[in-house]
Structure 1
Amino acid sequence: MIDLNHGSGCIYGQDAPRPPIATAVSSAIDAALTARNRAERPRTYLRIRGLADPGCPDLLFHPDLPDFDTRRGWPGLIALPRLVDGTRAQGIHRTFLLDDASAKAPAGKKMLGSVADAAVRLFAMPADGHLGIAEGIETALASNALFGTAVWAALSADGLARFQWPTGTTRITIYADAGDAGRQAAATLSDRLNRADIPNEIVVPLNGDDFNDDLMRGARAADYRPEISADEPVGIETSTTVAVPAPGDPDALIAAAEALTNPPELAALSSLLGRLALARLDP
């Protein structure tokens, strides 16, 4: 265990400043690559959650991942996000685990450096162009186990809403997080895909939990119903009984937002959010 407070082997002295981000990113990746065969506890974390190691070169396992805030090291996962052209983002995503790998550590999940507009490619781009996208790494792995889709992780609700799909994408399944933020992000991405004429569907977890919980409870793909079907792309005319005006009419857009049901239909919300963005209005 690395102790960041004491000992000659400490990485950061108690009074030392944080290292430069680029240095910390490089050091974390190098250590994970060196210790990959000794990092069994992070793999145990996945197994406990019913998930398999995807064997992805962009998901690394670290036996003693340093965290400056808690001033110690934890077993952990390091994800290496990539931009739409396949190049590595400057930052990384870290998941800190308890010493027995039974759950996340108090340090939780943290970004280090910029991961804007990047996603973790947990699986290779499929030949048929059908890609899945989710927020978290565990959600993406669980969705793959449930549906067999090649699912990438956008790492946050904002990352999912802004997801940049690669060339060759023919269809996208959005595995939404439960809750308002997750559903809104999924609806925003769906609207962008509709505008690009890319068939898409939104699938939400059962019982308002998450896909990993569903997997551990024995759920199957047949238990789910897409909230927006890839075979019937959402359009203004069919998505809702509330007319969604053009983005050049802000007052009418605001009136349409106020007329949404509570909770709103994802189809209606999808179209409206996209037009609010075009009008440069905050949802």
Structure 2
Amino acid sequence: MLDLNHGSGATYGAQRQATAVVEAVNAAIDAALLTRHRAEPPRRYVSTSGLGRPCLRQIQFDTLNVPKDEGRDFEPATLRIFEAGHRGEDVVADWIRAAGFDLRTHRSDGRQFGFSALDGRFRGHIDGCLVAGPVGIAYPALWENKALGAASWKDVVKRGVVLSKPVYAAQIALYQAYLELPHPALFTALNRDTWELHAELVPFDAALAQRMSDRAVTVVRANDHQELLPRVARERSSVVCRGGRAGDHWHPSCAWIDRCWRLAP
């Protein structure tokens, strides 16, 4: 028989108390995530992860650690998504190894495999390299993994990473070039909502790798000469600036849109 006496736990107001606990716990976690993020040392080099973005000035601002506009720094929700991506990568790596692949993700000293160019001002770190395995692909092969939301994941499955996510395709091409892994890369995409896994082979695009490498040189030289690179957009309302979908691609809003449009074109 249900006990409705005081102290039984089945009292009026219990839902409000539960809601307060949820809010308090999440607030504490969000504060910890922000503290940890702000304590991370700034990156002082051009990274492969964002070199495929359309606007060179945005890449330059990111490389120089230019302060973001007020209220445009990463929110806790975004930091949670980043964390899910990192955790998802570890899970997929475990799945791949369990399937019998020889996957190398770290050096003997625990560091990720990667490359450094232009006196350390252009760098990239790979998710891993497949040395052997039960599937008949050409080894060694670059392995690159992304954890995506359901809609984004479905678009990758439908159109392939090269068409759906050109920023990822640029990153893959650069890794293949600089780490001398010309065989088709294995790209895996984890659906964060369902934990379904998509896999596809990405042939090496030497022309794309060269274009992206040239962009890195452009950014580094501009930084050395304290030159402001041009923005790609002609109007502040461009989706590259404010965020949104243009054609077949989604663009996140620029974190420096206010600063950028106060400066020269």
Larger RCO (CA within 8 A; separation ≥ 6): 2
TM-score w.r.t. the length of structure 2 is 0.30
Pick the structure with more helix per residue: 2
Report which of the two structures shows the higher radius of gyration computed on alpha carbons: 2
TM-score w.r.t. the length of structure 1 is 0.29
